[in-house]
A = this chain, B = another copy of it.
């Protein structure tokens, strides 16, 4: 009913739902796109009042485990979608995304994957938006504002948080996007956060010479304004952004001063450690399943010998097929974790390179202290191995 320039949705799992929405929204939003990926789909789609000049998408390399069927993220093929729009002569790159869910904050087995996804998302934005005048990222990041992935994304891309920047906010307390008032939200999951959690974002930045401010920012508050039943389990975010030519004293929203650089270095180090731990975990699983494969093969050989030699022949034949199943199943899990380790190693290598360059810039910058820091440098060398 409200006439936005752009509406970006997540978790539209059914393409038919998208087609229905498209038909209904056609008068206001003549352009629309559904991002297809994985087995179920990325769930991402967009509706735009302005023609879409270009679009593409990037599917995250790591996205949970196929054997965690009850969590289902792996089957979605979570991704980031990119739209290029031309607005009043300016190029806008709008991104929509949905990262892996957090099922257990205390013992989060998906932490390394979510950090790797945040990194891939940041890299995709970094490499595809170099000629854009404005960048907009909307989506369900499944990350709290202070979480490692969120800080990594903001520090590396220089994106600003519309909720934090706006002077005119209306909506749920502390801008939460999962609130206990919403009848679709499981209140037990929010036990530790009585006000709710903020995991959906509108982030933006402009190139030098332009300045974006968030004029108004609104969220729904757990109820539909008309019928009382909420439209979704997450609250909707609505932002009005104002783009101006920046006054001469105003530099780009993301300067590369020493404070920003040291914040970037610190978050990169933290992410490096997390990915490293994830890699160790993946290799541990690959080793364990390697042993299971070995044991399964041994069992198979033993069963063959027993079947040939007589004795408990029937039992041997009966046990043969489960053993084959064990070997094949363990083989699949082994291959999956080898691939997982490669994916994490790749993200770690990209991140480490950026870290190295940020440190070089820090060492070269006139603001930096020229004092020797042998302790830190030893740590660096260890990381680079």
Query: Which residues in A have some Cβ–Cβ distance to B below 8 Å?
Result: 33, 35-39, 41, 52-59, 61, 75, 77, 82, 123, 126-128, 130-131, 314, 317-318, 321-322, 324-325, 335, 338-339, 342-343, 345-346, 349-350, 353-354, 357
Contact = CB atoms under 8 A, between A and B. Distances in A.
B39 A123 contact: no
Contacts of A55: 350, 353
A38 B353 contact: no
Contact of A339 (B77, B123, B127, B317): B77
A385 to B, nearest CB: 11
Contact of A82 (B127, B324, B325): B127
10 contacts: A35-B346, A36-B343, A37-B342, A57-B346, A58-B58, A82-B127, A128-B128, A128-B130, A130-B131, A321-B321
Contacts of A61: 37, 59
A280 to B, nearest CB: 16
A16 to B, nearest CB: 14
Contact of A343 (B37, B318, B325): B37
How many copies of the polypeptide does the oligomer hold?
2
B325 A321 contact: yes
Contacts of A354: 54
A82 B55 CA distance: 20
B127 A335 contact: no
A37 B342 CA distance: 6
Contact of A318 (B59, B123, B317, B338): B317
Contact of A353 (B52, B343, B350): B52
Nearest to A329: B328
B123 A342 contact: no
Contacts of A126: 54
Given A82-B127, A130-B131, 17 more contacts: A35-B346, A36-B343, A36-B345, A36-B349, A39-B335, A39-B338, A53-B357, A55-B350, A56-B350, A58-B58, A75-B335, A77-B339, A128-B128, A128-B130, A130-B130, A318-B318, A321-B322
A38 B325 contact: no
Nearest to A338: B39
A39 B55 CA distance: 29
Given A318-B317, A325-B325, A346-B37, A127 B56 contact: yes
Contact of A56 (B54, B59, B123): B123
Given A56-B127, A127-B128, A325-B321, A39 B353 contact: no
Nearest to A339: B39
B54 A353 contact: yes
Contacts of A56: 123, 127, 350
A345 to B, nearest CB: 5
Nearest to A128: B127
Contacts of A130: 128, 130-131
A346 B59 CA distance: 11
A41 B335 CA distance: 12
A339 B38 contact: yes
Nearest to A334: B39
Nearest to A332: B332
Contacts of A335: 39, 75
A142 B314 CA distance: 52
Contacts of A338: 39
Nearest to A344: B36
B38 A342 contact: yes
Contacts of A59: 61
A82 B126 CA distance: 13
Nearest to A347: B36
Given A55-B353, A353-B52, A41 B325 contact: no
